[in-house]
Amino acid sequence: MTTGTIVQTEQGPRRIAVWLAIAAGAVMAAGVVALWYVIDQRAHEHAGSSTDHSIHMNELLIRQDAENRLLALDRLAYRSMRTGEPSQEDWEGDATRYLADMPGFVAIHWIDANVQTRWQVAGEQGGDTPFAVAEIAQVRNALERSRDSGARTFSDLFTDAQGNPCIAVIVPVLHHGDFEGVIAGFLHPNEWLESVIGRLQGIEHHVEIFLKDRPVYQHQVADDVADPHQSLSHDFSAGGLDWTVRITPTSSFLSTGHADSSSLVLIFGLLLSALTALAMYFAFAARDRSHQYHDIALQLETLFRNLPGMAYRRNDAPGTPMAFISEGCSALSGYPRSTFSKGDKDWLDLVHPDDRVRVVGGIQNSFGTGDAFEVEYRIINADGDIRWMRERGRAVASEVDHQTHLEGFVTDITGQRVAENEAREHREHLAHVDRLNMLGEMASGIAHEINQPLSAIALLVQASDHLVRTERYTRLSEILDKLSKHAHRASLVIDRVQKMAKRSASSKERVGCEELVRDVARLAEPEAGIRDIEISVETQAGLPDVSVDAVQIQQVVLNLLRNGMEAMQSIGCRNGNTIGLQARLRDDNTVEFAVIDKGCGVAKSSVDKLFAPFSTTKKSGMGMGLSISRAIVTAHGGQLDFRNNRDCGATFYFVLPAAEQREST
C-alpha cells in the first residue's frame, strides 16, 4: 500500500466525521435557534398580556371610582334635602368631610336652578379663586342635562382659573319632586387619578390617560425611554366622558425576556455537552420564574385587597375549602379569610335560607353549561346583619388538575338596594299625590254618580214607609230589592274611589286584563258623562293575566283617558265624541293597553319633552302625569309610548309582560 493510498484512506473517515460534526452542529444550532425563537415569542406575548391586563385594570378602577363619586355626591344631595332646608353650617360641614374623604375633589358647590352658587366649600388645592360656574360653558351644559333628565353626570373637561384641567361632577337636588339645583364637585383629574390608580402603577409600564385626546394623567418610570411602537391604547366611556388609556412597556421590562433568551442561547453554545450545567441553568431559570410569579401574585393580592369586594376560586365538590379567596371576604362577611380557606365555613352557609336554592341553582347551571352567571342574594354576616350581595362568575376548566373550578367576584350592593328602595318609595309617593289630584279634579263627576243611587234610595225609602203605613206589603219586597241594588251601586263607586285614594305599600298580584280595564272605565264614566264623551271598551278574548299593582296600573290608564278626553274637548269634539280603551295580546306574548282619542294629536314640538317631568301643555297642569305613568309602567317591566293616528288624535299605549312570562324571567 503506497503512501498516497494511506492518506486517501484516512481522509475518508475524517471527512465523514467532519460532515457529521457539521451536521450535528447544524442540528444543534437549529435546535438552539428554534428554542431561542420560542422563548423570544413568549417573552413578547407575556409583555403584551401584561400590558393589556394593566390597561383593563386602569379602566376598571376609573369606572368604579367615577360611579362611587357620583353616589357619594348623590348621598350629599339626599342628606341636604332629607329634612327640608339645611343650614349653611350643616351643609358646609358635610361637604368638608366629603372633600377630606375623596382625594381629587378641590371644591364642592351647591348651585341653584339659576346657575348661581349658593354655598361652596374649597379644599386645600382649590385655590382662593372660586369657580365662576355661570361662566363655564361645560358646567352649564352638564347642569342643563342633569336638570332635564334628573340624572347624575360629568361635565366635559375645562380649565380653571389657575390653568389646571378640571371636571365637574353634577348631581341633581330634588325636593318633593321639584328641581332645587345641583351639587357640583370639582375635580383635578391628575390628583384624582393618582389617588385611584397611582398605587397600581409599577416599574414595568409608562401610563398615559387622556380625556378627549387631552392628557390628564401621566406615570413615567424614571431613567427609561418609552418606545412608542410598543404602546397599546384603549378607548372607553365612563361617567359620560370619553377616556383613552395608553400603556407603554418600559425598555427594562421588554429586555428581561430578551436577556433570558440570550443567556439560554449562550449557555447552549458554551456548554453544549454539559448536561449538569444545562440542568442547573433550568433550575435557576425556574427559580427566577418562580420569583416573577410570586411578585405577580403579590400584585394581584394587593389589587384584590384594594377592590371593594371578594374574588374567589372553588371547585364543584360541596364542603371542600376554597381554592382561593381574597381578603375582601372579611369586610363582606365579618369572618376572617382563614375560616373559608380552611373549610371551617362555606360561603354558601352565609346565604339567606330563602335565597340559597336559587344561588346554588345558578352555580350548578354554570358548572353544567360553562356559561357566566350573575345573581343577587342576601347573606347573614357574623354580626347577624343581613347584607345584599351581587355575585358574578363562570366555570373554568383548569389545565393543571384537569378539573372545573368556579371563579367569580362578590360585591356588597346593600347601599344600592337602599337607594333603590328610597327611589321606589319616592315614586310611589308621587303616584299617590297624582291620584289624589286626579280624584279632586273628578270630584263633581263622582258626586253626581253617587247622588243618583242615593236619591233613588231616598225615594224608595219614602215609598216603603208609605206602604208600611197603609199595610200594603205586596210590593215591599220589590222595593227593598231595588234599595239593595242602588245601595250596592253607591258602594261600588265609593269603593273604587277609596282604592284610588288609599296609600299603601306597593304589592303585585295576578289581575285579569278585562277586569282591570272595565274597572277603570267605570271610574272614568262619571267625568266622561259630564264632558259628553262615550268610552268604548274593547278587550281581546282569552287575554292572559298580568302581575301588577292594580291601583297603580289603573292610575296610568285613568290618566291616559283623562288626557285624551281633555284633548278631544279642547277642539269641541269635532272629530267625534267616542274615546277608545283597548287591551290586546301582542306577538311577543305581552299585553298592550291603549287609549285612542279623537283630539288634536301630539305636536312635533312637544314630542321630545312629552314624558319629561314638569312638561305640560295644559293651563293648570303640573306636568307630572305622564312622567309618573311612565315610571310606574317601567317599574312593572313594561314600556309607555304614543303614536299619532292617521286620521285624527293620538294613541297612548303601554305594554306589560304576561304573568307567566314575568314569573319565568
pLDDT tens for residues 114-167? 888 888 888 776 555 577 887 888 888 888 888 888 888 898 888 888 888 899
Last residue within a domain, chosen from 412, 435, 460: 412
Range of the domain at 430: 423-657
Grid cell in block for residue 59: 379602566
Q: For residue 478, what pLDDT band results from cuts at 50, 70 and 90?
A: low
- Name which of 174-188, 534-548, 636-650 the model is least confident about: 174-188
Tell me what pLDDT residue 24 has. Answer: 57
CA–CA distance, 333 with 412 (Å, rounded to integer): 10
More confident residue, 183 or 321: 183
Burial class from Cβ neighbours inside 10 Å (0-12, 13-18, 19+) for residue 591 reads buried
pLDDT of residue 595: 93
Question: Is the model more confident about 217 or about 40?
Answer: 217
66: how many CB neighbours lie within 10 A of its CB?
Answer: 21
pLDDT higher than threshold 90 for residue 448: no
Higher-scoring residue by pLDDT: 22, 102 = 102
Q: Residues 241-297: pLDDT tens digits?
A: 888 988 888 777 666 655 555 555 556 555 554 555 445 445 555 556 666 667 766
- What is the CATH classification number for the domain harbouring 156? 3.30.450.350
Percent of the chain with pLDDT over 90: 5
Q: Is residue 81 part of a domain?
A: yes
Looking at residue 228, what DSSP letter applies?
G
Identify whether residues 479 and 558 lie together within a single domain.
yes
Pairwise CA distance, residues 26 & 565, whole Å = 95
Q: What is the pLDDT of residue 597?
A: 92
Half-sphere exposure of 427 (CA within 13 A, CB side): 19
Q: Is 319 a residue whose pLDDT tops 80?
A: no
> Measured between alpha carbons, how far is 482 from 537 in angstroms, rounded to an integer?
28
How far is the C-alpha of 92 from the C-alpha of 79, rounded, in Å? 12
Q: At 48, give phi and psi (nearest 5°).
A: -65, -40
Q: Are residues 403 and 467 in the same domain?
A: no
Last residue of a domain, one of 285, 320, 346: 285
> Residue 491 maps to which CATH number?
3.30.565.10
Q: By the 8 A CB rule, do 193 and 214 touch?
A: no
Phi, psi for residue 575 in degrees, rounded to 5: -95, 5
Residue 593 has pLDDT above 90, yes or no: yes
Look at residue 652 in the predicted model and tell me its pLDDT: 92
pTM: 0.36
Residues 315, 264 within the same domain: no
Q: Which residues pair with 388 in a beta bridge?
A: 378
The pLDDT of residue 656? 92
CB distance 96 to 121 below 8 Å: yes
pLDDT at 292: 67
Flag whether 455 is in a domain: yes
Identity of the highest mean pLDDT range in 232-246, 254-268, 407-421, 475-489? 232-246
**With 90 as the cut, is the pLDDT of residue 379 above it?**
no
Q: pLDDT per residue over 68-81, tens digit each? A: 888 888 888 777 77
CATH label of the domain that carries residue 330: 3.30.450.20
Q: Are residues 265 and 376 part of one domain?
A: no
Classified as helix, coil or strand, 606 is helix
* Residue in 642, 450, 639 with CA at minimum distance from that of residue 563: 642
Q: What is the mean pLDDT of residues 4-23?
A: 49
Residue 372's pLDDT is 83
State how far the Cα of 346 lies from the Cα of 367, in Å rounded to an integer.
18
Q: Which of 363, 390, 412 is the last residue of a domain?
A: 412
Q: Exposed, middle or buried, 369 (CB in 10 Å: 0-12/13-18/19+)?
A: exposed
Which of 33-47, 348-362, 538-552 has the least mean pLDDT?
33-47
On whether residue 299 sits in a domain, the answer given is: no
Residue 194 domain-assigned (yes or no): yes
Q: Which stretches within 247-352 are classed as H helix?
A: 251-270, 275-306, 328-333, 337-341, 347-350
**DSSP strand pairing (534-539 vs 578-585):** parallel
pLDDT band at 12 (very low <50, low <70, confident <90, very high): very low
Q: Are residues 462 and 496 in the same domain?
A: yes
**Mean residue pLDDT across the chain:** 75
Where is pLDDT greater, at 269 or 545?
A: 545
Quick check: is 290 in a domain? Answer: no
pLDDT on residue 5: 44
Q: What total of structural domains would you count in the chain? A: 3
Taking the mean position of all CA atoms in its chain, how far away is CA 658? 25
CA gyration radius for the chain? 37
- Report yes or no: 169 and 194 within 8 Å, Cβ to Cβ: no
Q: Note whether 271 and 317 are same-domain residues.
A: no
Give yes or no: residues 476 and 586 share one domain: yes
At 117 the pLDDT is 85
Task: Examine the domain organization and report whether 316 and 378 are in the same domain.
Answer: yes
Q: Which of 267, 201, 636 is nearest to 424 (CA)?
A: 636
Q: Does 4 have pLDDT greater than 80? A: no
Residue 590 in domain: yes
Count how many residues are written for the chain. 665
Q: Which residue has the higher pLDDT, 207 or 434?
A: 207
Categorize the per-residue pLDDT at 318 as very low, low, confident or very high, splitting at 50, 70 and 90.
Answer: low
Q: Does 608 score more than 70 pLDDT?
A: yes
C-alpha cell at 429: 309617593
- Is residue 665 one of the residues assigned to a domain? no
Q: Give pLDDT, residue 579.
A: 92
Cα(472)–Cα(465) distance, rounded to whole angstroms?
10
- The one-letter code for the residue type at 456 is A
Query: What percentage of residues in the chain have a pLDDT greater than 70?
Result: 64
Residue 654: per-residue pLDDT: 92
Closest CA to 560 of 596, 508, 518, 519: 596
Q: Does residue 335 carry a pLDDT above 50?
A: yes
Placement of cell 279623537 in the chain = 598
| pLDDT at residue 445, rounded to an integer | 46
| Spatial separation of the C-alpha atoms in residues 535 and 542, rounded to whole Å | 22
Q: Please indicate, yes or no, if residue 558 is contained in any of the structural domains.
A: yes
**Per-residue pLDDT, 582:** 92
Q: Which residue has the cell 321606589?
A: 424
Residue 655's pLDDT is what? 92
φ/ψ of residue 194, rounded to 5: -65, -40
d(CA 477, CA 467): 11
Cell 363582606: give the residue: 332
**Is residue 116 located within the same domain as residue 190?**
yes
